[in-house]
Amino acid sequence: MRASIENTACLVIDMQENLFPHMYNHHKLEKNCKILLSGLSLLNIPIVVTEQYRKGLGLTLKQISKIITDFDPIEKISFSCCHNDTFRKSLSDTGKRVIIICGIEAHVSILQTTIDLIELGYQPLVIDDCVSSRKKSDKRIALKRMDQERALITGYESVLFELCEKAGTEEFKALLKLVK
């Protein structure tokens, strides 16, 4: 399986202001997610965003939301995004089957969504350096489980250049500036 511009969308899960500061290594997570989302926006990859229980966890981080064109987050109360009808329709409307996943928390919403996406016939591509949990060990265990469930695990730089496909293009030059 290979991600391409034609078959790939992105899912940003619950990157919310009241939860985010409690994530393991959250400063690095923010930096990595901003690079990933900037690169995906540059490549015109559709981005779907969810927010878990806004009243308690707040809104998506401003530094993330401002990167995303047509930012329109989907509020959910179930941990798995796939238990939300609006989300399922929004994802289906992209027409994409490979889903890049970033956000929080790896061992709760990301894990449950990943398993459900696989059951629905999607191929999740979980970005290791763009997901986190409050505890490092929870993230590690969740990534191992997602791998066992047949999700693919990679890093943001790898997926951006996979989508770009070749050097020398304007997109490549712009991506190179982002990752340096």
The residues that bridge with 144 in the sheet, in sequence order, are none
Q: Where are the domains of the chain?
A: 8-179
Q: What are the pLDDT digits (tens) for 27-62?
A: 999 999 999 999 999 999 999 999 999 999 999 999
Instruction: Just give the CATH number of 8-179.
Output: 3.40.50.850
Residue 1 has pLDDT above 90, yes or no: no
User: Is residue 77 within 8 Å of residue 52, measured between CB atoms?
Assistant: yes
**Pairwise CA distance, residues 93 & 180, whole Å:** 34
How large is the average pLDDT for residues 9-13?
Answer: 98
How large is the average pLDDT for residues 61-70?
Answer: 95
